[in-house]
Amino acid sequence: QRGDHVDHAVDLLRRPGMHRGFPHIHTVHILPAFFDIPLGNLLAADVLMAQEREQNFFQRVDSFFGLSSTKNIDTTSYVLEPCGWMFNINNNFAMMNVSSSFGESDIKAMSQFNYAIGVTAGYRNLILGYTFLRPVGNARDMTLAINANAWGVEFRKYINDDFNGTARLKGGSSIDIGSGDIEVESRYLRAYHTFNARRYSTTAALDHRCIQRRSAGSVLFYTDFARHALSFANVAIPAAYSDGIEKITYTSAALGLGYGYNLAFFDGRLLFHAMAVPMFAVIFDEAFSRYDVLETDRGTRFRMGLIARLAANYRINDHFGINLMAVYNRTAMSGRIEECNMAWNDLLVRASLCCRF
């Protein structure tokens, strides 16, 4: 391959007029026994070879990650965008419902309506999203994702302490829960695999990296590793309604098998997407903080969860598009240390203006 580059450079050097773009450079006679090479030709060939090396580097990176490979794609079903850079302006609308029980007491709360403005930026399939302005609510959200043709990985950190609800003893007293009284924090690392990646594209519904020309679906395999925490900042809740427990933390690993479908119209200009994956979770690390004393249990429990997503995309042209997406996550756990059950439902609706260049 190096020999091909050299032959190509020599061929360029021998062409007459190559140095006309460099009128101030005179011919320098090197290797006089063979041929005369203008110095301008040497500079042009060096630039060409540098560009080829850079292009080959990105091709090797894309091939290694499977990001832009087309050898296993049915191009009549979907095609990859030629643009590399992506920039999205996101309007996020989020709500969360939390419920827990501790023996004879119940705690139920729903988050305030949270509206936030954020950005998503990335190159190829490496995507970073962050919410930086929160006109309404206190939720904080950060994501980092890689989405290839047949697989993807996403990390998300979500914190919310803006809830309204009630803590109630069964048949007894109750108190109101206000903003700042409880806080939920979720961190998860999630990966997926698309079995029909030849015809179905997940990224076509998420970030406009692909154009889904024809409708197609696929069986999806999901796995995630998550750590969730629920803490009570209002001291009245641990004192009377959670058996003295101030914070609950647990870790889980989950597997799920589901299905996704892309419904395409007008050669992919308009796309509707739906996905649902039931998750089978194993809870293997549980911790309770009671009056600053930590209690742990590393036994395993099993619970069911759900990941669901709806999306609609409209491509304005090759560089701009509009995306509307709703993602629903349900998480549940049951404690061993105390007679404790907890579940929360997380809904995120996002409207985005997508730019590719």
Question: Average pLDDT by consecutive 10-residue portion of the chain (357 residues)?
Answer: 52 50 45 51 65 64 55 78 78 84 80 82 74 68 80 87 82 80 88 92 80 92 91 77 78 93 92 94 79 69 87 88 89 66 84 86
Number of C-beta neighbours around residue 301 at 10 A:
16
Q: What is the pLDDT of residue 165?
A: 87
DSSP state of 75: T
* Residues 209, 210, 215, 216, CA torsion sign: negative
Q: Which residue has the tokens 């050898």?
A: 71
| Amino acid at site 289 | S
- The SS3 of residue 71 is coil
Both tokens of 97, joined, read: 């419902």
Query: H or E element: which one contains 64?
Result: helix 39-65
Closest residue by Cα to residue 159 from 223, 91, 233? 233
According to DSSP H, which parts of 212-305 are helical? 236-240
DSSP state of 113: P
- Asked whether the whole model's pTM tops 0.85, one would answer no
- HSE (side-chain half, CA atoms, 13 Å) at 286: 21
DSSP state of 49: H
First to last CA, the chain: 31
Q: Which residues of 25-40 are buried (b: 16+ CB within 10 A; e: fewer)?
A: eeeeeeeeeeeebbeb
Q: What is the pLDDT of residue 30?
A: 45
Which residues are CB-contacts of 119 (< 8 A; sequence separation ≥ 6)?
A: 87, 88, 89, 90, 129, 130, 132
Q: What is the pLDDT of residue 20?
A: 47
According to DSSP H, which parts of the chain are helical? 2-14, 39-65, 203-206, 236-240
| Amino acid at site 120 | T
DSSP state of 23: T
CA-only gyration radius of the chain, Å: 28
> What is the distance, to the nearest Å, from the Cα of residue 266 to the centroid of all Cα atoms in its chain?
27
Cα–Cα distance, 32 to 28 (Å, whole number): 10
